[in-house]
Amino acid sequence: MHTIEDLRRLAKRRTPSGPFDYTDGGADDEVGLSRAREAFRQIEFQPGILRNVSATDTATEVLGKTSALPFGLAPTGFTRMMHSAGERAVARAAADAGVPYTLSTMGTTAIEGLREAAPDGRHWFQLYLLRDRDRSLELIERAAKAGCDTLFLTVDVPALGNRVRDLRNGMTFPPQLTLKTFLDASYRSEWWFNFLTTEPLRFAYGNGRIESSSASELYDNTVTFDDLAWMREAWAGKLVIKGIQTVTDARKAADHGVDGIVVSNHGGRQLDRAPVPLRLLPDVVAAVGSRTSVMLDTGIMNGADIVAGIALGADFTFIGRAYLYGLMAGGEAGVRKCLEILTAEIRRTMALLGVSSITELNPDHVRMPR
């Protein structure tokens, strides 16, 4: 396994189509997903020569603390469907690498499980503001009690995106394990054995299985910027808005005093043909970068992608599919391999650019066609 694509190919062989396509796919025609990845491929690096790069410092500060690498592990739903090791394995790998990990509201491990799995890790929690505000408040209080120092409010899911692969595989909300699912899984004996012999799937937002038959019963599509005041009262830690897709909304979020924003189109899984985060990033940084932390998500599959994002002004970046490919390929060892691959790619790209520390990266190191 030398690249994230190598992990992806192994993951596809070892994982049933339903969980794999849930990870791998996007919304509708997957145009937004392909454009996000293409934007990174179109980047042209501009290296400096005759620089001392005998040592490369990959550490950076994010939301008041140091991360050993310029990326964190993004929140993902149904993680134990990909591999029974699930979020606990991801949290351990992230902690050992010195990077933060964000548990999703739709994660398949209780919030308290992160601290049990990785007591020394930096843990964040991602929240979908629920229709039941009391339930949302309970989640916020649990996250604080479990030691999470940052809350991510995801704002780009007023309705679920049309994920065609999921519909065909029965990966609906809630997941439907159809005859096709069982037959497909039967050819992946290790996945099947783990699924049947480990604890039943349970979700971070509740104490039991998902019983809702409609996403509208969970997600609140009446949420507005006015709700950020309530969030501020309920949460004492850092508050980040994830899912910013226009400069106008970035300014509004900064005006409301959030500690950070994530320029993201939800991995191409919500509105297809949404703005490409990497292309939007420089405009957002110019508009609000002096007032709030600007982070980047969607399409990152190589350490060079991370370097490009930081050079274009991002304070931090996130990976999602990349570490899930590792998880599906080999459980916790696969996640660790993913992080090793990205770390090597970041260090190599920095050295070839003539850069010895993350803080040296700037727009002069990249050229992005418009």
Checking if the pLDDT of 205 tops 70, the result is: no
Class at the top of the CATH hierarchy for domain 4-367: alpha beta
Cα-to-chain-centroid distance, residue 108: 15
The backbone torsions φ and ψ at residue 310, rounded to the nearest 5 degrees and listed phi first, read -65, -40
pTM of the full structure: 0.93
pLDDT tens digits for range 241-274: 999 999 999 999 999 999 999 999 999 999 999 9
The backbone torsions φ and ψ at residue 342, rounded to the nearest 5 degrees and listed phi first, read -65, -40
Checking if the pLDDT of 174 tops 90, the result is: no
pLDDT tens digits for range 114-138: 899 999 999 999 999 888 888 899 9
Query: Which residue ranges make up each domain of the chain?
Result: 4-367
pLDDT tens digits for range 62-101: 999 999 999 999 999 989 989 999 999 999 999 999 999 9
Token duo for residue 61: 């500060």
Angstrom CA distances, 9 to 15, 16, 105, 185, stand at: 10, 13, 28, 17
Catalytic residues: 266
- Give the H/E segment covering residue 286: helix 277-288
Checking if the pLDDT of 285 tops 90, the result is: yes
